[in-house]
Structure 1
Amino acid sequence: MSIPATKVTPPLVDELDIVIPTIRNLDFLEQWRAFFQPYHLIIVQDGDPTKTIHVPEGFDYELYNRNDINRILGPKASCISFKDSACRCFGFLVSKKKYIFTIDDDCFVAKDPSGQEINALAQHINNLLTPSTPFFFNTLYDPYREGADFVRGYPFSLREGVTTAISHGLWLNIPDYDAPTQLVKPLERNSRYVDAVMTIPKGTLFPMCGMNLGFHRELIGPAMYFGLMGDGQPIGRYDDMWAGWCAKVICDHLGLGVKTGLPYIWHSKASNPFVNLKKEYKGIYWQEDIIPFFQSAVLSKEATTPQKCYVELSKLVKEKLGPIDPYFEKLASEMVTWIDCWDELNSATSKIDVVPKKTEAAPKKK
Structure 2
Amino acid sequence: MALKDELDIVIPTIRNLDFLEMWRPFFEPYHLIIVQDGDPSKIINVPAGFDYELYNRNDINRILGPKASCISFKDSACRCFGYMVSKKKYIYTIDDDCFVAKDPSGKQINALEQHIKNLLSPSAPYFFNTLYDPYREGADFVRGYPFSLREGAPTAISHGLWLNIPDYDAPTQLVKPSERNTRYVDAVMTIPKGTLFPMCGMNLGFNRELIGPAMYFGLMGDGQPIGRYDDMWAGWCCKVICDHLGFGVKTGLPYIWHSKASNPFVNLKKEYKGIFWQEEIVPFFQQVVLPKEAITVESCYLELATQVRDKLSKIDPYFTKLADAMETWIEAWRELNEKVKPIAENGPVKLSSKAK
**TM-score under structure 1 length normalisation:** 0.94
2:161 aligned partner, one-letter code: L
Aligned to 2:344, the other structure's residue is in SS state coil
How many residue pairs align between the two structures? 347
1:237 corresponds to: 228
Aligned residue runs from structure 1 range 177-192, under 5 A? 177-192=168-183
Q: Distance in 2 between matches of 1:102 and 1:258?
A: 16
Quote the offset at 1:309 in angstroms.
0.3
Aligned residue runs from structure 1 range 37-48, under 5 A? 37-48=28-39
CA RMSD of aligned residues (A): 1.1
1:272 aligned partner, one-letter code: N
Matched, 1:248 2:239: yes
Aligned residue runs from structure 1 range 188-227, under 5 A? 188-227=179-218
1:311 corresponds to: 302
One of 320, 324, 336 as aligned partner of 1:329: 320
Matched, 1:18 2:9: yes
Q: Distance in 2 between matches of 1:357 and 1:323?
A: 43
Q: Distance in 2 between matches of 1:138 and 1:36?
A: 33
2:93 corresponds to: 102
One of 248, 256, 261 as aligned partner of 1:270: 261
1:335 aligned partner, one-letter code: M
1:288 aligned partner, one-letter code: E
1:162 corresponds to: 153
2:141 aligned partner, one-letter code: F
2:342 corresponds to: 354
Give unmatched runs, 5+ long, in structure 1. Answer: 1-8, 360-366
Matched, 1:114 2:105: yes
Q: Distance in 1 between matches of 2:83 and 2:180?
A: 31
Q: Distance in 2 between matches of 1:146 and 1:162?
A: 18
Among all aligned residue pairs of Structure 1 and Structure 2, give the percentage whose two residues are the same amino acid. 82
**TM-score under structure 2 length normalisation:** 0.96
Q: Where do 4+ consecutive residues of structure 1 move more than 6 Å?
A: none
Matched, 1:298 2:298: no
Are the counterparts in 2 of residues 172 and 191 from structure 1 also a CA contact under 8 Å? Answer: yes
2:354 corresponds to: none
Question: 1:317-341: per-residue Cα shift (whole Å, max 9, x none)?
Answer: 0000011100000000000000000
1:270 aligned partner, one-letter code: A
Q: Distance in 1 between matches of 2:140 and 2:67?
A: 48
2:350 corresponds to: none
Aligned to 1:53, the other structure's residue is in SS state coil
1:165 aligned partner, one-letter code: A
Quote the offset at 1:358 in angstroms.
7.7
Q: Distance in 2 between matches of 1:182 and 1:297?
A: 31
Question: 1:116-159: per-residue Cα shift (whole Å, max 9, x none)?
Answer: 00000000000000000000000001001111000000000000
Quote the offset at 1:357 in angstroms.
2.2
Matched, 1:258 2:249: yes
Question: 1:199-246: per-residue Cα shift (whole Å, max 9, x none)?
Answer: 000000000000000000011000000000000000000000000000
Q: Distance in 2 between matches of 1:210 and 1:12?
A: 22
Q: Distance in 1 between matches of 2:80 and 2:14?
A: 15
